[in-house]
Amino acid sequence: SGSDLAAALQRIDGRGYKAYKDIEGRWQMAAQQGGYCLCVDWVQGDPFASPSKCRVVLPAALAALPAQLVCSRTRRTAVCDYLTRSFGAAVAASGGDIRQQSGGWQGEKGGEMSVDKPGQHVLERTSVLILADGSVEARFTVALPARGRSVLGQWASSILLQNLPRYVHQGLQYAQQDRHALQCHVECVEDTQSLRDQLPALGLVSFLGDGSILPRKSGASDEPMAAAEAVPFRSPEALAVTVQLPNRGAVRGLGIRRGITLVVGGGFHGKSTVLEAIECGVYNKIPGDGRELIATDPCAVKIRAEDGRRVESVNISPFLSNLPFGKDTRCFQTPDASGSTSQAANIQEALEVGASTLLIDEDKVASNAMTRDARMLELVSGNREPITPFICKLPPLAALGVSCILVIGGSGQYFDVADTVICMDAYVPSDATAAARAISARHAGTGDRLPRHETYGDITPRTLASVHPRPVSAHGRDLRVKTRTLHCIQLDQEEELDLSAVEQLVEVSQTRAIADALVKLRGALAGRGGPWTGRPLTQVLDALEAEMDERGVDALAGRAKPGNLARPRRFELAAAVNRLRTAQLRQLA
């Protein structure tokens, strides 16, 4: 019980730090102490190590979530996201238990309690879970306090037995929540999810609701631009669609149809901002984000050039052939791809694992991979140009059922293939399809028509043979994986996996989940003849997703009960594997 924990902390007070191991285990709090169970799952080895991992499990009767809030997966995800924020806020409001620290090696240190901190997106997380019996589990870390290297039992006791019950009460019990805010959070997420689910039936790949605030506060902040500065989004009549949402009712907005859509307009008129909003429309948002009514095909993938990346056994022949020195483009590999080869690999890899919409911004592509004008065609042609410009492949891609949304300010050649042209003018979209068609017709036969491609070419599936060449030892973690930032995973000392071009990764908690998935895959593949050995990469991703559907994001974790993971999409998981320099991928025969 709580008093047993108090006694244990008193007993080890002043002893060597290792004595904290005594408090590992489950402590059932009496009703007047909160009535929850505190699990100290793992105690750090010394005051400088990563903080100790704990959970509280609040029985259903105390969590007291109304049935209507937990009646669907989407609602449960939204509630867990909300409680993560409210638990985190309760901790932060009281300073997270950091004391005035006296500093220095011998001084007092530790005490911080922390809960994973979500951003603007509502994702499946491991920070707060609603268990099958309706109890609520919340995970957090505590830096167990020390003076020098000895236990500060009194302080630990005040954190775990005085402050924590207050955080649990304020942050996790339904009765203490702002019911209106929680209900709004859930309904907002449910509406966005419903919008996304309705896209296929409406023939759309993206929808941007009227009144949405697309621009962000700054390049460093994902929060909305201040209302006084931002021009709210409004669909032109010609492209407007009305959708019924379960909570909000009818909403009007711009519907981007399947097929080829261009976003054109002058520089600085808001084109990239539109595409960025579409990119993260694959995730649900918190109320007030400004993008709650923007939803995109969940299989939409941002494509960009990424010179310097590794490419392993990718068939890039739809875009490149006849490379100098006879380099094979049907099974292309390089430790250092160029702009155009990296872009081709990014496209092929996305299609390989099921992308159904490609998102492309002229600001981020290799211009030689996009188009070629009449004069250049006259000078360099036939076998001397290995690159097939992307524009030639757009109609065959559309025929395969893959849509494309492109931001293009510089080349009107794309008018020839576009189904819809949206023109941005001072952040206001208009329908420029008819005008673009007329221009295209007028210029027909003027010489810069590129050769038509009837078929797209091959997308060759690959298997993941191994994640890391070093054998997996029987015990212990033999591959040290550390998530440094949103876009960087460190593997051992050897490799920094650079994910900076993986733009639809939105939270470092997703990156941590990807890092865990790499370790899991490595283990699974190293055991010869394991279930995934020799399977196409796409089936491995199916299996990971199925496990997450069943067990949540915990399914990716090797360590016990992490509280700081969020669900990544299959495309970002694949992106990590594809960029990993130690991974072995082979084409299926």
Residue ranges that bind ligand ADP, judged by CB under 6 A: 214-215, 225, 229-231, 265, 267-273, 427
**d(C-alpha 207, C-alpha 242), whole Å:** 10
Token look-up 């750090």 returns 44
Looking at the Cβ atoms of 265 and 568, the one nearer to ligand ADP is: 265
Minimum gap (Å) between residue 263 Cβ and ligand ADP: 8
Nearest 5 degrees, angle CA 247-CA 252-CA 256? 115
Q: Pick the stretch among 71-79, 115-123, 355-363, 440-448 that binds Mg ion (CB under 5 A).
A: 355-363
Minimum gap (Å) between residue 363 Cβ and Mg ion: 4
Among Mg ion, ligand ADP, none, residue 230 binds (CB under 5-8 Å by kind): ligand ADP
Establish how many alpha carbons lie within 13 A of residue 156's alpha carbon, considering only the half-sphere containing its beta carbon.
33
Measured from each CB, the residue nearest to Mg ion is: 272
Cα-based torsion angle of the residue sequence 328, 333, 338, 340 in order, rounded to the nearest 10 degrees: 60
Looking at the Cβ atoms of 178 and 229, the one nearer to ligand ADP is: 229
**Which of these, 537, 579, 557, lies nearest to 477 by C-alpha position?**
557
Looking at the Cβ atoms of 171 and 409, the one nearer to ligand ADP is: 409
Nearest 5 degrees, angle CA 142-CA 146-CA 148? 145
Looking at the Cβ atoms of 157 and 272, the one nearer to Mg ion is: 272
492 binds Mg ion (CB under 5 A): no
Looking at the Cβ atoms of 157 and 212, the one nearer to ligand ADP is: 212
363 binds Mg ion (CB under 5 A): yes
- Token code pair at residue 247: 């909570």
Among ligand ADP, Mg ion, none, residue 135 binds (CB under 5-8 Å by kind): none
Minimum gap (Å) between residue 265 Cβ and ligand ADP: 6
Looking at the Cβ atoms of 265 and 562, the one nearer to ligand ADP is: 265
Looking at the Cβ atoms of 48 and 268, the one nearer to ligand ADP is: 268
Among ligand ADP, Mg ion, none, residue 413 binds (CB under 5-8 Å by kind): none
Of 141, 163, 212, 272, which lies in the binding site for Mg ion, with binding defined by CB under 5 A? 272
How many other CB atoms sit within 10 Å of the CB of residue 551?
A: 11
Q: Pick the stretch among 132-140, 268-276, 285-293, 533-541 that binds Mg ion (CB under 5 A).
A: 268-276
Among Mg ion, ligand ADP, none, residue 494 binds (CB under 5-8 Å by kind): none
Let me know how many helices (H) and strands (E) the chain has, helices first: 14, 30
Find all residues with CB under 8 Å of 161, minimum gap 6, and list them: 2, 5, 6, 33
Cα-based torsion angle of the residue sequence 303, 305, 309, 310 in order, rounded to the nearest 10 degrees: 60
Minimum gap (Å) between residue 230 Cβ and ligand ADP: 4
Looking at the Cβ atoms of 277 and 514, the one nearer to ligand ADP is: 277
273 binds Mg ion (CB under 5 A): no
Backbone torsions φ then ψ of 358, nearest 5 degrees:
-110, 140
Burial class (CB in 10 A: 0-12, 13-18, 19+), 442: exposed
Looking at the Cβ atoms of 140 and 427, the one nearer to ligand ADP is: 427
End-to-end CA distance of the chain: 61
Looking at the Cβ atoms of 96 and 270, the one nearer to Mg ion is: 270
How many other CB atoms sit within 10 Å of the CB of residue 466?
A: 18
Among ligand ADP, Mg ion, none, residue 269 binds (CB under 5-8 Å by kind): ligand ADP
Minimum gap (Å) between residue 268 Cβ and ligand ADP: 4
Looking at the Cβ atoms of 185 and 269, the one nearer to ligand ADP is: 269
Establish how many alpha carbons lie within 13 A of residue 157's alpha carbon, considering only the half-sphere containing its beta carbon.
16
Minimum gap (Å) between residue 458 Cβ and ligand ADP: 34
Q: Pick the stretch among 15-23, 207-215, 362-370, 488-496 that binds Mg ion (CB under 5 A).
A: 362-370
Looking at the Cβ atoms of 139 and 304, the one nearer to ligand ADP is: 304
Q: Pick the stretch among 161-169, 360-368, 493-501, 523-531 that binds Mg ion (CB under 5 A).
A: 360-368
Minimum gap (Å) between residue 233 Cβ and ligand ADP: 7
Token look-up 């990014």 returns 346
Minimum gap (Å) between residue 425 Cβ and ligand ADP: 10
Among Mg ion, ligand ADP, none, residue 268 binds (CB under 5-8 Å by kind): ligand ADP
- Token code pair at residue 216: 């962000």
Find all residues with CB under 8 Å of 585, minimum gap 6, and list them: 312, 313, 462, 463, 464, 465, 537, 577, 578
Token look-up 């995973």 returns 489
**Which of these, 294, 10, 15, lies nearest to 160 by C-alpha position?**
10
Minimum gap (Å) between residue 443 Cβ and ligand ADP: 24
Supply the angle between the helices 179-202 and 73-93 in degrees, to the nearest 10.
140
Token look-up 């872009």 returns 343
Among ligand ADP, Mg ion, none, residue 267 binds (CB under 5-8 Å by kind): ligand ADP
Establish how many alpha carbons lie within 13 A of residue 57's alpha carbon, considering only the half-sphere containing its beta carbon.
15
**d(C-alpha 39, C-alpha 57), whole Å:** 8
- The residues of the shown chain that bind Mg ion, judged by CB under 5 A, are 272, 363
